Chains A and B, each alone.
Chain A
């Protein structure tokens, strides 16, 4: 892969870190305070819990990592590639190829079936499709089964499913095609505590099988126990 061979020239390690953030800051506008983010390095395959109360820029941080917002200063290297050095189109493709995302809610395209929602990344990325090693539909079905979605729901409109099921389908979509990084933005905030722990266990177990790094953001500190690393967000300066 291009991104890795590039980075090995710069980095002494064998494999580049999944996420490497340095001196990152962001500003919404001239009148707004500048948000400063902590430096972090997450080795490939390890998981990070990012804790931060509301208003500390969690979603902004994820937007910067996903390459959907441009930073005011600093650098983000994902898998050794500085994504903000890429053009807009290449950034979109990088996201399609290497990242899975799970939102807080409204995770699914309402007019697609559960299965079609899961296979969506394979239709946007050749790399993800090739990585499934089989037909995307079959891969999606195995994931859905592993995430305990009843088979009768696979071809149903996602709007008919429960929130817990919708979040698990979103997890399946993030996992399909084994992307290197999964960004999860409070995916458990709408779930009860039993479902929440089960969801995190399932997600992390399946991510480990794929050597995928999960960056999990939440305001709920009790979830931190599931993760290798944890980090606090919250320094806001003018």
Chain B
């Protein structure tokens, strides 16, 4: 009977003070939305980061650390320590344990975006996310030597369309002074957005990569020795070196043995690494930042809870009469205190429910827009255990801080005299 009375009194009281409390609830809702949103993004970003590349069992390059290899092959950050020979690539092709290979040749750029020389295997075998293949938004993969396929981000930023002629630059950097201006490329395809570094690169054939570097052996173009598009057609453009190789194995169980064999490869010093392992290692390096972000958001929630308590304590002076009546009618100090606990808990629960709805609405509304415009992949999914516990901690914390006004009301009403306070 007491519990039902407390509940009905608390809900009537909340409704009575809805104007003031709605503002407090709004503050709390926004901060909970922020907290939940950041935790959700953390999970999503981690998921999307660690699945930047999937289904690739080994990445093979010249001898170096695994993070370095990962950075320049997958994220296009930094440079290769060395190249590997074409003959090594041919050797790998003979290995029966290896199912498929994607050769990667790096070094040039187009207006700040990396140029990746590769072959048809890239379109066929490269996977990202949860095993999604690359799809073309328009056009087709490169056929000719001077065909280029643009990542979604490149096409969007530079507003290129099919059929555009583009001039690649030698080396990296946004403003390069040595351009391959004798050999323009034609855009034949544009990839769909993936939310991975794939969006931020342009793709040409290994032959194209070789062709634009004829006559550049000394690092700059020697006039008269570079190729024209016509001359290139009749030349053998088999590359002598490539930068790295993505490999898929027939049987995943052999991954470590193949890795060991490749690390001890007799032909030249190679490094083979597992992209999943390297990605997790890299994520650990960056996780301090996002931990700090989550911490800050936690403080935002604590701040709005303190605001809630401040408002409840202010309201307490207004409630003196009502508490005097309840006390005189026989309500115990415990019942009075429970009103504060229930009201605070109800506000926090309300804030949590509204922020859940807000978050779901925001993700379903802006998710597709984020992917096409910013390459950020964000989907609606059930909350993880961590997210639930974070969400549940809000009403628990509210209950904890509500002890402050509840205790003060309990103490006041214990020593409450007959009638209004101050009249006794």
Interface residues, chain A, CB within 8 Å of chain B? Answer: 59-60, 62-63, 65-66, 68-69, 88-89, 92-97, 99, 101, 103-112, 116, 120-121, 123-126, 173, 183, 185
Contacts and interface: CB of A to CB of B under 8 A. Distances in A.
Interface in B318-353: 321-322, 324-333
A66 B12 CA distance: 27
B419 interface: yes
B16 A69 contact: no
B249 to A, nearest CB: 71
A20 B66 CA distance: 92
Nearest to B420: A106
25 contacts: A59-B419, A63-B418, A65-B418, A66-B328, A92-B327, A92-B333, A95-B329, A96-B329, A97-B330, A103-B420, A104-B419, A104-B420, A106-B325, A107-B325, A109-B9, A109-B322, A109-B326, A111-B12, A111-B17, A116-B12, A120-B326, A123-B1, A124-B330, A125-B330, A185-B419
A95 B330 contact: yes
Contacts of B416: 68
Given A111-B15, A124-B5, A173 B424 contact: no
A120 B13 contact: no
B423 interface: yes
Contacts of B12: 111-112, 116
- Most B CB within 10 A of own CB, among A92, A99, A183: A92
Interface of B: 1, 5, 9, 12-13, 15-17, 321-322, 324-333, 414, 416-420, 423-424
A65 B330 CA distance: 13
B321 A59 contact: no
Nearest to B334: A89
Nearest to A183: B418
Given A59-B424, A103-B419, A126-B1, 12 more contacts: A93-B330, A96-B330, A99-B330, A103-B324, A104-B420, A107-B325, A111-B13, A112-B9, A112-B12, A123-B5, A124-B330, A185-B418
A89 B418 contact: no
A144 to B, nearest CB: 17
A-B pairs with lowest CB-CB distance, top 10:
A96-B330, A111-B16, A63-B418, A106-B321, A63-B417, A101-B328, A62-B418, A95-B330, A111-B12, A92-B332
B414 A124 contact: no
A99 B330 CA distance: 8
A210 to B, nearest CB: 17
Nearest to B330: A96
A183 B1 CA distance: 25
Nearest to A111: B16
- Most A CB within 10 A of own CB, among B13, B16, B331, B418: B418
A104 B13 contact: no
Contacts of A99: 330
Contacts of B328: 66, 68, 95, 101, 103
B332 A89 contact: yes
A183 B330 CA distance: 13
A59 B417 contact: yes
A72 to B, nearest CB: 15
Contacts of A96: 329-331
B423 A104 contact: yes
A111 B332 CA distance: 19
Contacts of A107: 325
A179 to B, nearest CB: 10
Nearest to A60: B424
Given A111-B15, A112-B12, A126-B1, A68 B331 contact: no
A202 B12 CA distance: 30
A106 B419 CA distance: 9
Given A59-B418, A59-B419, A59-B423, A109 B325 contact: yes
A121 B325 contact: no
Nearest to B423: A59
B418 A68 contact: yes
A62 B327 CA distance: 13
Given A92-B330, A121-B330, A101 B418 contact: yes
Nearest to A70: B415
Contacts of A123: 1, 5
A116 B322 CA distance: 14
- Most A CB within 10 A of own CB, among B5, B9, B329, B417: B329
Contacts of A112: 9, 12
A133 B185 CA distance: 96
A96 B324 CA distance: 13
Contacts of B417: 59-60, 63, 68-69
Contacts of A105: 420
Contact of A110 (B322, B332, B418, B419): B322
A151 to B, nearest CB: 21
A69 B328 CA distance: 12
Contacts of A101: 328-329, 418
B178 to A, nearest CB: 79
